[in-house]
Structure 1
Amino acid sequence: MLRFALPLILLLFSPFSFADPLPEVIRLGIANAGAGSPPRAAIGPLGIAQQHQLIEQELANDNIKVQWIFFKGAGPAVNEALSSRQIDFAAQGDLPSIIGQAAGLNTRLLMSLGKSHSYIAVKKDSAIQTISDLRGKTIAFHKGTNIHLGVSRILNKGGLTERDLKVFNLDSAASLSAFLSGDLDALFGGLNLFRLEDLGSARLIYDTHQDPAFVRQTHILVDDTFAQRYPDITQRVVQALVRAAHYNALEEHEEEVLQSWATGSITVDHFKRELAGASIREKISPLFDTYTTGLYRQSIADAREFRLIRRNIDLDRWIDDSFLQQSLVNLQLEDYWPPLDQNSHPETGAVTGL
């Protein structure tokens, strides 16, 4: 899995290390529109990192600024920005990154940002009860985003493909509007659908808590050229995000963290429902352990099966967790997140706490 040697070795032997001055700014792309105005990262380590300016603090001594760029066009728009070298790092879901890498983008997966579930909502008085009942119905979702792979998997579970439904390519806001106006029979989404249920506008007929292999992953990745040229900066960015993940995971911070995540129509109770009894520490592990790596491997295989990509990806070369592992050592957190096996259980011999 370790695609490169430790960042120190990279620093010593990279052809860019001694030739290039430090960047004046690093550009971090976020695959959503953000929350509020001006937009901010609301959920997970990114939210804490931005709120507490942890990346900015790591880079302050070198007068390097951090530019947070939010993309309403989600993952596909982030891929375009990576392709045109408009951003250096990206927070993105699994499928858009897989599509980008398969299409020729040269990136490295640095650390996991956690996993999330998918849900299907229908009108409260709808006759739709199961996934198979969606045959011939009208749905919409944002193609190329990480919900797309979830939709394909869920439909496949019900013996369906996209061809068995009327499918429109709409972003989440447009999909919600179309559903509320009666133009859609069902709506695929995340925990934002809980609000519709609270208001009596919908009921949920399915969620991926019953199919853990269908969860959606998010991560931080970096442009490969940037990582080669600036291994020390890459290391410090990852270390700041590990600090944020640790802050998130501390039990004494749970209520504060959940309150900071709650934005607009999404409440603390919605997050607790999404967690389904799991701790934030369990939910947002930065590790590319056997469990998480297996999910990515399956996502790549599924993307090929559903013809979302045409060529395979060497996952072992794509993941570069050397910066993460060094950060865990630097912060004395090597044993904080126990690595999980393929069944999402702590690996034999793993330390489960400090």
Structure 2
Amino acid sequence: MAEALQLNVAVSDIGAGGKPAGGALVDVIHAQQRLEKALAPKGVQVKWHFIKGAAPLINESFANGQIDMAYLGDLGSIVGKSGGLDTRVVAVAARGIAHHLAVAPGSDIHSLGDLKGKRVAVFRGTAAQLSLIGALRTAGLTEQDLKVVNLDFAAASAALAARQIDATWGGANVLALKRRGLAEIPVSTRSLGGAGELAGLVLVSGRLLEKHPDWVQSIVQVQREAATWASTPDHREAYLQLLSEQADYPIDLLRSDLEGAPPLSQLLSPELDPAFVAQLRQAIDSAKEARLIRRDIDLQQWLEPRFLNSSAQ
């Protein structure tokens, strides 16, 4: 442990404003101090690390023993595990995270098939690339069929506005372009039967699992309780308001991201159910296909569902 009775938690910071934000249930757990309250009786202090550099820095922190757990996207988690990190997946943080194709207004691109030979921006090495690979597969295409341009989101937005690229692939950020009249969204993973949708995982270090399984049980219990709170219909507006305030995203943008989506009880479910495990297997295969990882992952060894099983009783 980094310090006696301290839990170091890492989160990929997606906030657009001055406040730290991890999205979805991470913001509920952080803002409502749910981990702090659950672990206080054990005398454990919780220290949050919101990291802008996202997955590579979080994986480095795991490797250096600076953090004990993380809320991390599927690709970052997969890359770390494939690279030999001693992590375990104890719950799902979020699932069904949609991605969308943004094109310039008036574009002749109406489907994934229309992308053949087109200049498409994607932030390589991130979950967005993994999402694009999964989506293209449904149209019988690979990245090799496109002219892929590696741009971060801000650069891709500017390039699309200047018509230097034909399209870009991204998450809620591309909905913001549509909202400003700078893009149309002809394709979304919502209409692809789950292909290309992403997930977030609750990861703990092997060391934490070995030394403090009771802490891990509390972490998973908190995940379950936060999911129940956020997916209760009476709390929907409070949940969206909390996300909006933390990430500095307009609330109507968050609402539009949930249009046509499964219910929150499904999107926020912590369960490592067979459908989710199959999706994670697919994500690992996509990461290998894109040469983002070299070594395969033993899923049975990586997944640790026993804490979910006991928290459900």
- TM-score under structure 1 length normalisation: 0.80
The answer on 1:109 being equivalent to 2:93 is: no
User: Closer, same or farther in 2 for the Cα pair 1:171/1:85, shift >3 Å?
Assistant: farther
Identity across the alignment (%): 32
Q: Report the equivalent of 1:254.
A: 236
Opposite residue 281 of structure 1, the aligned amino acid is: S
Shift of 1:153: 2.1
Residues of 1 paired with 2:199 and 2:261: CA distance?
Answer: 19
Q: Report the equivalent of 2:59.
A: 79
Shift of 1:207: 0.7
User: Closer, same or farther in 2 for the Cα pair 1:193/1:258, shift >3 Å?
Assistant: same
Cα distance per residue 1:303-351 (max 9 Å; x no partner): 233333222211111110112222222xxxxxxxxxxxxxxxxxxxxxx
Opposite residue 247 of structure 1, the aligned amino acid is: W
Shift of 1:189: 0.8
Q: Report the equivalent of 1:347.
A: none
The answer on 1:154 being equivalent to 2:135 is: yes
- TM-score under structure 2 length normalisation: 0.89
The answer on 1:52 being equivalent to 2:36 is: no
Q: Report the equivalent of 2:301.
A: 317
Opposite residue 305 of structure 1, the aligned amino acid is: E
CA RMSD of aligned residues (A): 2.3
Q: Report the equivalent of 1:208.
A: 189
Which of 220, 231, 235 is the matching residue for 1:238?
Answer: 220
Which of 126, 131, 135 is the matching residue for 1:145?
Answer: 126
Opposite residue 206 of structure 1, the aligned amino acid is: V
Residues of 1 paired with 2:84 and 2:60: CA distance?
Answer: 12
Shift of 1:149: 1.0
Indicate if the aligned counterparts of 1:74 and 1:145 stay in contact, CA closer than 8 A.
Answer: no
User: Closer, same or farther in 2 for the Cα pair 1:150/1:240, shift >3 Å?
Assistant: same
Indicate if the aligned counterparts of 1:76 and 1:145 stay in contact, CA closer than 8 A.
Answer: no
* Paired residue secondary structure (1:81): helix
Indicate if the aligned counterparts of 1:95 and 1:148 stay in contact, CA closer than 8 A.
Answer: no
Indicate if the aligned counterparts of 1:34 and 1:70 stay in contact, CA closer than 8 A.
Answer: no
Indicate if the aligned counterparts of 1:191 and 1:271 stay in contact, CA closer than 8 A.
Answer: no
Q: Report the equivalent of 1:6.
A: none
* Paired residue secondary structure (2:186): strand
User: Closer, same or farther in 2 for the Cα pair 1:123/1:245, shift >3 Å?
Assistant: same
Residue correspondences, number: 309
Deviates more, 1:171-180 or 1:225-234: 171-180
Residues of 1 paired with 2:38 and 2:226: CA distance?
Answer: 12
Indicate if the aligned counterparts of 1:122 and 1:185 stay in contact, CA closer than 8 A.
Answer: yes
Q: Report the equivalent of 1:170.
A: 151
* Paired residue secondary structure (1:213): coil
Cα distance per residue 1:74-111 (max 9 Å; x no partner): 22332222222222111111122112111111110011
Instruction: Extract unaligned runs of 5+ from structure 2.
Output: none
* Paired residue secondary structure (1:58): helix
Deviates more, 1:145-154 or 1:284-293: 145-154
Indicate if the aligned counterparts of 2:172 and 2:253 stay in contact, CA closer than 8 A.
Answer: no
Deviates more, 1:316-325 or 1:172-181: 172-181
Shift of 1:261: 1.8
Deviates more, 1:101-110 or 1:123-132: 123-132
Aligned pairs for 1:1-354 within 5 A = 23-41=4-22, 43-115=23-95, 116-214=97-195, 215-262=197-244, 263-268=247-252, 270-276=254-260, 278-329=262-313
Residues of 1 paired with 2:87 and 2:146: CA distance?
Answer: 35
User: Closer, same or farther in 2 for the Cα pair 1:84/1:277, shift >3 Å?
Assistant: closer
Instruction: Extract unaligned runs of 5+ from structure 1.
Output: 1-19, 330-354
Q: Report the equivalent of 1:345.
A: none
Shift of 1:253: 0.7
Shift of 1:159: 4.1
Residues of 2 paired with 1:170 and 1:82: CA distance?
Answer: 27
Indicate if the aligned counterparts of 1:123 and 1:186 stay in contact, CA closer than 8 A.
Answer: yes
Opposite residue 250 of structure 1, the aligned amino acid is: T
